[in-house]
C-alpha cells in the first residue's frame, strides 16, 4: 500500500484526494491544512490530520508527499519534503520564481528524490491523443496551432492568494502555463515568441503569445478576466498539411478532405465517483496520479512532467510576463 501525505486540502487538494480514493493500492495516510475543516473534509477513517504542512512532513508515516499549497509556498515545502521521502508531487506552476525552481532541482539531485509537477495537460486524454497524432506525422507537418484557456476569475483561493499577483503570478503563471507547458512538450522550445497582455485591468490576467518554430507558428491565449457566468473553456486546433484536429465546440474532431469525424476517447469510469471542480470528471488529474503512483510502486524515476521540464515552462512564462512589445 502506498501511503500518501497530502498538504493543502483546498480546491486542488480535494481533487487529488478524490483521485487517490479511486486508485487501488493507495491510501490517504495523512492530510494537512491550516484550515482544519478542509483537512477533515478530505480525510478518511484512519487518516492522520495535521494543522500545518511542516507537521506532516516531520511526523507523518508516509511514502510520498503531495503538495497542493498556494504557489508561493511550493518551494519551501517541497525542499523539506524531499529530505523526508523518495517521491514528491508538487502542483503547477512548479514555483513562484525560477530561482526557487532551480533550488528544487538541486535538492532533488542531492537527495535522489523523484519529483513530478502537476503539469496535468500532458496527461489529459484529448491532449495525449493530439501528441500521438503530431508524433506520428500521419497528416503531414504541422502548419499552425492554437491553444486557448479561458476561465472565470478564481475567487476561491485561501486568503485570496490566487488573485494576488505577487503570490500567484496571475493568470499568465497560474493558468496559461498549462498550454505553454503542453506546447513545449510536443513542439519543443520556440525559436522566438511575441506576447501581448492586458493594458488596463489586473496585471497578467490576459496573455496572448505567438511562438515561432522553424516552419510553423503556435498561438497560445489564456485569461481569467471573465465573470463567473462564463464557462471554463479549454480548446485547441492544430492545422496539419492534410487535416485539422480540433477540440472545441463541436467536440474532439478530425477534419480532412474526405469529411469531418469525431475522435472517440474511452473515458474511464471511476469507482468512487466524483462531483465538483470545473471539469466533468477527474480526467488528467486521475491520469497523472496513476502515473505518479505507478512509478512509486515500481521504484522507477519520474520521466513525465519532470522538475526540469516544469522549470523550463516556468522560465518561458516569466519571459512572457516581462515581454515588452
Ligand atoms: N493542475 C491544475 O489544473 C490546477 C488547478 C487549480 C490549482 N492548481 C494549483 O494547485 C495549488 C493549490 O491551489 P488551490 O486552488 O487548491 O488553492 P486553495 O487556496 O484552494 O488551496 C490551498 C490550501 O492550502 C492551505 N494552506 C495554506 N498554507 C498551508 C500550510 N502552511 N500548511 C497546510 N495547508 C496550508 C489553505 O488553507 C488552502 O486550503 C496552486 O499551486 C495552484 O496553482 C492547479
- With a 6 Å cutoff on the Cβ, whether 158 touches ligand 1 is yes
Q: How far is the CA of 292 from the centre of ligand 1 (A)?
A: 19
Whether 190 and 252 map to the same domain: the answer is yes
Closest ligand 1 atom to residue 38 Cα is 39
- Directed axis angle between helix 125-136 and helix 177-187, to 10°? 30
Mutate to test the pocket of ligand 1, among 58, 67, 91 (most ligand atoms within 8 A of CB): 91
Q: Is residue 67 part of a domain?
A: yes
pLDDT per position as a tens digit, 140-164 = 999 999 999 999 999 999 999 999 9
> Final residue of a domain: which of 119, 150, 174?
119
Whether 28 and 86 map to the same domain: the answer is yes
Q: Is residue 291 part of a domain?
A: no
Whether 20 and 61 map to the same domain: the answer is yes
Mean pLDDT value of segment 252-279: 75
Q: Is residue 58 part of a domain?
A: yes
**What nine digits make up the cell of 97?**
520564481
Full residue range of the structural domain in which residue 177 is found: 121-267+306-321
- With a 6 Å cutoff on the Cβ, whether 52 touches ligand 1 is yes
> Final residue of a domain: which of 119, 144, 161?
119
Q: Is residue 284 part of a domain?
A: no
Q: Is residue 296 part of a domain?
A: no
Whether 172 and 107 map to the same domain: the answer is no
pLDDT per position as a tens digit, 155-202 = 999 999 999 999 999 999 999 999 999 999 999 999 999 999 998 988
Q: Could you list the beta-strand ranges (E) of the chain.
A: 2-7, 26-32, 48-50, 64-67, 87-90, 114-117, 142-152, 192-197, 206-212, 217-226, 233-240, 244-248, 251-256, 259-262
State the pTM of this model: 0.96
Mean pLDDT value of segment 36-54: 97
Whether 136 and 259 map to the same domain: the answer is yes
In what helix (H) or strand (E) does residue 310 lie, and over which residues does it extend?
Answer: helix 307-321
Whether 77 and 170 map to the same domain: the answer is no
Task: State the CATH number of the domain containing residue 190.
Answer: 3.30.360.10
pLDDT per position as a tens digit, 97-127 = 999 999 999 999 999 999 999 999 999 999 9
- Directed axis angle between helix 283-298 and helix 125-136, to 10°? 70
Q: Is residue 93 part of a domain?
A: yes
Q: Is residue 298 part of a domain?
A: no
Whether 105 and 153 map to the same domain: the answer is no
> Final residue of a domain: which of 119, 151, 167?
119
Whether 127 and 230 map to the same domain: the answer is yes
SS3 content of the chain, % helix, strand, coil (to 5): 40, 25, 35
d(CA 263, CA 43): 38
Q: Is residue 274 part of a domain?
A: no
pLDDT per position as a tens digit, 306-315 = 999 999 999 9
Whether 146 and 11 map to the same domain: the answer is no
Whether 234 and 185 map to the same domain: the answer is yes
Q: How far is the CA of 8 from the centre of ligand 1 (A)?
A: 6
Whether 238 and 172 map to the same domain: the answer is yes
User: Taking 60 as the threshold, does the pLDDT of residue 287 lie above it?
Assistant: yes
Whether 131 and 236 map to the same domain: the answer is yes
Q: How far is the CA of 249 from the centre of ligand 1 (A)?
A: 30
Domain count, the chain: 2
Task: State the CATH number of the domain containing residue 77.
Answer: 3.40.50.720
Amino acid at each position: 500500500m502506498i501511503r500518501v501525505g497530502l498538504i493543502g486540502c483546498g480546491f486542488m487538494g480535494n481533487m487529488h484526494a478524490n483521485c487517490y480514493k479511486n486508485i487501488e493500492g493507495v491510501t490517504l495516510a495523512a492530510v494537512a491544512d491550516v484550515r482544519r475543516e478542509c483537512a477533515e473534509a478530505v480525510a478518511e477513517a484512519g487518516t492522520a490530520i495535521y494543522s500545518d504542512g511542516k507537521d506532516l512532513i516531520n511526523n507523518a508515516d508516509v511514502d510520498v508527499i503531495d503538495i497542493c499549497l498556494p504557489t508561493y509556498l511550493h518551494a519551501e515545502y517541497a525542499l523539506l519534503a524531499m529530505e523526508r521521502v523518495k517521491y514528491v508531487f508538487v502542483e503547477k506552476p512548479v514555483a513562484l520564481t525560477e530561482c526557487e525552481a532551480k533550488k528544487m532541482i538541486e535538492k532533488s539531485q542531492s537527495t535522489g528524490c523523484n519529483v513530478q509537477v502537476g503539469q496535468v495537460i500532458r496527461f489529459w486524454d484529448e491532449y495525449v491523443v493530439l501528441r500521438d497524432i503530431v508524433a506520428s506525422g500521419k497528416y503531414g507537418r504541422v502548419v499552425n496551432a492554437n491553444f486557448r484557456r479561458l476561465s472565470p476569475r478564481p475567487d476561491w483561493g485561501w486568503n485570496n492568494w490566487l488573485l494576488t499577483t505577487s503570490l500567484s503570478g496571475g493568470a499568465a503563471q497560474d493558468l496559461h502555463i498549462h498550454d505553454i507547458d503542453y506546447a513545449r512538450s510536443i513542439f519543443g522550445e520556440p525559436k522566438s515568441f511575441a506576447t501581448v497582455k492586458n493594458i488596463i485591468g489586473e496585471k497578467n490576467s490576459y496573455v496572448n503569445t505567438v511562438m515561432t518554430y522553424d516552419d510553423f507558428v503556435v498561438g497560445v491565449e489564456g485569461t481569467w478576466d471573465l465573470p463567473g457566468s462564463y464557462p471554463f473553456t479549454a480548446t485547441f486546433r492544430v492545422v496539419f498539411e492534410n487535416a485539422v484536429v480540433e477540440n472545441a465546440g463541436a467536440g474532439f474532431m478530425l477534419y480532412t478532405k474526405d469529411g469531418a469525424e469525431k475522435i472517440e476517447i474511452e473515458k474511464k469510469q471511476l469507482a468512487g465517483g466524483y462531483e465538483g471542480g470545473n471539469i466533468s470528471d477527474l480526467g488528467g488529474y486521475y491520469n497523472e496520479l496513476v502515473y505518479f503512483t505507478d512509478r512509486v510502486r515500481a521504484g522507477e524515476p519520474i520521466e513525465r512532467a519532470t522538475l526540469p521540464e516544469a522549470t523550463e515552462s516556468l522560465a518561458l512564462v516569466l519571459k512572457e510576463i516581462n515581454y515588452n512589445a
